[in-house]
Amino acid sequence: MKAVAFCGSARKNGNTALLLNRVLEQLASGGVETELVELAGREVPGCKACMACFRNKDQQCAFKKDVINDCIAKMIDADVILLGSPTYFADLSSEMKALIDRAGMVARANGNMFKRKLGAGVAVQRRAGAIHVFDSMNHFFLIGEMIVVGSSYWNIGVGREKGEVAGDEEGLATMKTLGENIGWLLKKMNQ
């Protein structure tokens, strides 16, 4: 079993990565192979709306010079796809938006190729807007026939400076429970 988490923050090792790692640690403790992919510092342009993915149907974005096709390959290989984004102006980071638009369109062009994989989104805010970010990530999973796993609260952490979310006890507990629930479902699916 494999879980891959994509961190859409523009800064490495920040609060979004910290929360995603909490979920991954919980999964790893149950024997799941895990990987965190940080988009920070990578070129992640948005979808060009060329629709070449619908003509090519090769499970790839036609723009091959950036990190998106690597991300898509990791998604294909995984049983669990986690998306994480900080809140920027009450919305997704542009890196996460680009990943969602491009991987999402390639998936649609190839028969909803992430169908029935498990998915969950994780959002961080300083003060407000994360619920909208969380909802936006859920749109990616739900249009693609994926199974969205929940926690005991919406998957949100609160923090501003790097690492500050470590002080958000409820946010951390929410991530642990999310990892437990995903792990529980993975086991049931493989019984």
Ligand X SMILES: Cc1cc2nc3c(=O)[nH]c(=O)nc-3n(C[C@H](O)[C@H](O)[C@H](O)COP(=O)(O)O)c2cc1C
Site residues (vs ligand X, CB under 6 A): 9, 11, 14-16, 86-90, 124-129, 159-160, 162
Report in angstroms how near the CB of residue 169 gets to ligand X at its nearest: 16
Name the residue number minimizing CB distance to ligand X.
Answer: 14
Q: Which residue number, 15 or 138, has a Cβ lying nearer to ligand X? A: 15
CA 182 – CA 177 distance, rounded (Å): 9
Report in angstroms how near the CB of residue 86 gets to ligand X at its nearest: 3
Q: How many Å from the N-terminal Cα to the C-terminal Cα in the chain?
A: 13
Report in angstroms how near the CB of residue 96 gets to ligand X at its nearest: 11
Q: Which residue number, 2 or 126, has a Cβ lying nearer to ligand X? A: 126
CA 191 – CA 10 distance, rounded (Å): 39
Report in angstroms how near the CB of residue 58 gets to ligand X at its nearest: 33
Q: Which residue number, 108 or 126, has a Cβ lying nearer to ligand X? A: 126
